[in-house]
């Protein structure tokens, strides 16, 4: 199935992490992984504030806010509702 950037998820949508795009610096890949953004982990988009503000995502029991520079480089496989 095609992957989409994390930034494009709609509010309430869930998706599984498939990897990071090559343009994301290693340091940020490392930090994201330490924070729980592992391959296969389920991420839920909690909020998409207006005006391009950073979006809010839940990973496990932790909530993070990521701006487009990062979230556009985390590749996700969207899950069907209820999956």
Partner 1 sequence: MNRRVMLVGSPNCGKTLLFNRLTGLKQKVANFPGITIELAHGPMPAIPGVTLTDYPGSYSLRALSADETVAVEQFHAGLDSPDVSHVVCVIDVTRMEKSLYLTLQVIRHARRKGKHVIVVANMMDVLDAHNVELDLEGLAGELDAEMIPLSARTGQGMADLLACLREDPPRQPPEPAPEIEINPDLLIQQQAHRLAGKYGPRGDMLVRSQNRMDAFFLHSWFGGLAFFAIMYLLFQSIFTGAAPIMDVVEGGLGTVAGWLVPLIGPGLVADFTSDAIFSGVGAFLVFVPQIFMLTLIVGLLEDSGYMARAALICHRPLRFFGLTGKSFIPMLSGVACAIPGVYAARAIDSPRRRRLTYMAIPLMPCSARLPVYALLIAAFIPQTTAMAGLVGMQGLAMFALYFFGLLAGLVVAGIASRRDAKSDSDVPFILEMPAYRMPALMPLIQKSAHRCMHFITKAGGVILSVTVVVWILGYFPNGGADLGSSWLAGIGRVIEPVFAPMGLDWRYGVAILTSFLAREVFVGTLGTIFGIEFAEQNMVPLVERIHASGMELASGFALLVFFSVALMCVSTMVILARESGSWKLPAKMFAVYGVAGYVGAIIVYQGISFLSA
What is the full DSSP assignment across 2-32? --EEGGGPPTT-EEEEEEE-TTS-HHHHHHH
Whichever of 2 and 34 has its CB closer to partner 1, that residue is 34
Whichever of 4 and 46 has its CB closer to partner 1, that residue is 46
42 vs 18: CA distance, rounded Å: 10
> Which residues would be at the binding site for partner 1 (CB under 8 A)?
27-28, 30-36, 38, 41, 46-47, 49-54, 56, 58-67, 69-70
Whichever of 10 and 61 has its CB closer to partner 1, that residue is 61
């Amino acid at each position: 199935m095609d992957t989409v950037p994390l930034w494009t998820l709609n509010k309430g949508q869930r998706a599984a992490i498939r990897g990071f795009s090559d343009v994301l610096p290693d340091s940020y890949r490392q930090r994201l992984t330490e924070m729980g953004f592992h391959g296969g982990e389920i991420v839920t988009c909690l909020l998409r504030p207006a005006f391009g503000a950073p979006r809010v995502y839940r990973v496990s029991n932790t909530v993070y806010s990521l701006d487009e520079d990062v979230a556009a480089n985390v590749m996700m496989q969207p899950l069907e509702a209820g999956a």
